[in-house]
């Protein structure tokens, strides 16, 4: 029997995903029970199973919903038709600020996706790859010369190295907010991007010449 989808249903499901993400982030996926999720949501366990089949589906929903939000964010920025530099700067800023309200979901994404089955992992990781590709395209739009040197994706991964681990040290209630850090990340990445030079193509080292053996007459 198909589940009935109403506004109340969607609101309750959003609450379940949010509370599950908080529990998974705090104590780990394997250590979290469905009883704990139900209790955190203020609902019974049978009611919880009205929204998800099992804990595996719950993890998949948490991770995929987070990735879906990031993909939607990318689409929103791309739809604005901004100039290359402004587009990349906006993507960076929007992602940094989005992570402020999704630290639990992001921790789940980085630490618990390994517990999904192959299909679930591919669904989540496929979404991640699409997000990375969008950023790499934005880098290429700003620096087309880097495409031939295959540096767009490595530079994108360096950028995400800055953004993705901010949850380990930048706290929403700290002295510096995500909103304040967003332009800092933009300046740090784009300010250094202009100085990046594509490396020269690798060449095989010349082999040392061997001396011809002298023979006695």
Cα–Cα distance between 22 and 105 in angstroms, integer? 8
Instruction: Classify residue 211: in a domain, yes or no.
Output: no
Cα–Cα distance between 215 and 30 in angstroms, integer? 76
**What is the pLDDT, as a whole number, of residue 1?**
45
Residue 68: CB partners within 8 Å, gap ≥ 6?
A: 127
Q: How many Cα neighbours within 13 Å face the side chain of 10?
A: 4
Please, are residues 149 and 199 in contact by the beta-carbon 8 Å criterion? yes
Instruction: Classify residue 78: in a domain, yes or no.
Output: yes
**Structural domain containing residue 122:** 63-193
Which stretches of 66-142 are assigned E, i.e. beta strand?
none
**What is the pLDDT, as a whole number, of residue 70?**
96
Q: Which of 170, 28, 154 is nearest to 103 (CA)?
A: 170
Distance of CA 155 to the CA centre of its chain: 15
Cα–Cα distance between 47 and 82 in angstroms, integer? 46
Instruction: Classify residue 18: in a domain, yes or no.
Output: no
Instruction: Classify residue 212: in a domain, yes or no.
Output: no
**What is the pLDDT, as a whole number, of residue 197?**
64
**What is the pLDDT, as a whole number, of residue 181?**
87
Instruction: Classify residue 25: in a domain, yes or no.
Output: no
Helices and strands (H and E) in the chain: how many: 10, 0
To the nearest 10°, the Cα dihedral for 105, 111, 112, 116? 120
Residue 73: CB partners within 8 Å, gap ≥ 6?
A: 94, 95, 98
pLDDT digits (tens), the chain, 217 positions: 455 567 888 899 999 999 999 999 999 999 999 999 999 999 999 999 999 999 999 999 999 999 999 999 999 999 999 999 999 999 999 999 999 889 999 999 999 999 999 999 999 999 999 999 999 999 999 999 988 888 999 999 999 999 988 888 888 777 888 888 888 899 889 987 675 566 666 555 555 555 554 444 3
**What is the pLDDT, as a whole number, of residue 139?**
96
- Supply 185's token pair: 């990340």
Specify the number of domains making up the chain. 1
User: Which whole-number Å values give the CA distances from 9 to 6, 52, 64, 115, 207, in the listed order?
Assistant: 5, 12, 18, 27, 71
Instruction: Classify residue 216: in a domain, yes or no.
Output: no
Domain of 169, CATH number, reads 1.10.357.10
**What is the pLDDT, as a whole number, of residue 175?**
81
Instruction: Classify residue 67: in a domain, yes or no.
Output: yes
User: Which whole-number Å values give the CA distances from 121 to 9, 58, 180, in the listed order?
Assistant: 26, 13, 33
Instruction: Classify residue 10: in a domain, yes or no.
Output: no
Please, are residues 59 and 114 in contact by the beta-carbon 8 Å criterion? no
């Amino acid at each position: 029997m198909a589940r009935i989808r109403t506004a109340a249903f969607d609101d309750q499901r959003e609450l379940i995903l949010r509370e599950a993400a908080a529990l998974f982030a705090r104590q780990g996926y394997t250590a979290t029970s469905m009883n704990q999720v139900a209790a955190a949501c203020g609902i019974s366990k049978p009611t919880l199973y009205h929204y998800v089949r099992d804990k595996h589906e719950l993890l998949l929903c948490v991770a995929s919903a987070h990735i879906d939000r990031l993909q939607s964010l990318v689409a929103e920025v791309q739809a604005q038709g901004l100039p290359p530099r402004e587009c990349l700067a906006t993507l960076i800023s929007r992602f940094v600020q989005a992570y402020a309200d999704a630290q639990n979901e992001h921790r789940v994404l980085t630490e618990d996706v390994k517990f999904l089955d192959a299909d679930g992992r591919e669904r989540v990781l496929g979404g991640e790859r699409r997000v990375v590709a969008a950023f790499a395209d934005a880098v290429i739009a700003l620096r087309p010369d880097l495409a031939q040197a295959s540096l767009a994706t490595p530079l994108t991964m360096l950028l995400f190295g800055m953004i993705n681990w901010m949850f380990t040290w930048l706290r929403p209630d700290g002295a510096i907010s995500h909103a304040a850090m967003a332009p800092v990340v933009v300046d740090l990445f784009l300010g250094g991007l202009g100085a990046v030079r594509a490396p020269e193509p690798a060449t095989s080292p010349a082999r040392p010449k061997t001396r011809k053996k002298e023979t006695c007459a």
